[in-house]
Amino acid sequence: MQIVAKCPQCDAGLPIAAAGAPGAITCGRCGRDIPLSISEGVREDRAVDRCPVCGGADFYTRKDFDPKVGLTVVVIGAAISAGFYWLGRDLVAYSILAAAVFIDLIVYQRLKEVTVCYRCHTEFRGAYPPTAPAFDLHTADVLEQEYERRVGRR
């Protein structure tokens, strides 16, 4: 399992491999030491049961989607489409635009899922079956505030 640990102090993303991860890492941006307690499930890529950074057990699942990639496909599609539209080939223009949106949709559906810690936003990618529910704004509000008070960010 690949983990992107989030620094509690500066929120930098620190990639680590769960198997063979050390007991602590140092943030490359702010120099803070971050102790890691990696559970069996996480180390063996079986389940995300406990967050190694904050110790929390509340996670959500989201698509591992880079919005920039999706936007690029649509923007390129729109540009080509505008060219055909300008040439008076409306139907071709609309088809290309529709195709771009369709490609976007396919890409989105084939994406892997990523599990994210509600409290510290550490991300977990791997072969484990994603069991965490979808993102819930209310839960996020409560848990994020609790965590930020704990690490002294507010």
- Binding residues (CB under 5 A) for Zn ion: these are 7, 9-10, 12, 27, 29-30, 32, 51, 53-54, 56, 117, 119-120, 122
Measured distance CA(17)–CA(23) in Å, rounded = 12
**Least CB distance from residue 39 to Zn ion, whole Å?**
12
**Least CB distance from residue 34 to Zn ion, whole Å?**
8
Which C-beta is closer to Zn ion: that of 56 or that of 85? 56
- Structure token pair of residue 92: 């071709």
Measured distance CA(60)–CA(101) in Å, rounded = 27
Which C-beta is closer to Zn ion: that of 90 or that of 136? 136
Which C-beta is closer to Zn ion: that of 11 or that of 40? 11
The residues pairing with 61 across neighbouring beta strands, listed in sequence order, are: 115, 134
Which C-beta is closer to Zn ion: that of 50 or that of 89? 50
> Which H or E run contains 102?
helix 90-109
**Least CB distance from residue 19 to Zn ion, whole Å?**
19
**Least CB distance from residue 22 to Zn ion, whole Å?**
16
> Which H or E run contains 40?
helix 40-43
How large is the angle between the packed helices 67-86 and 90-109, nearest 10 degrees?
170
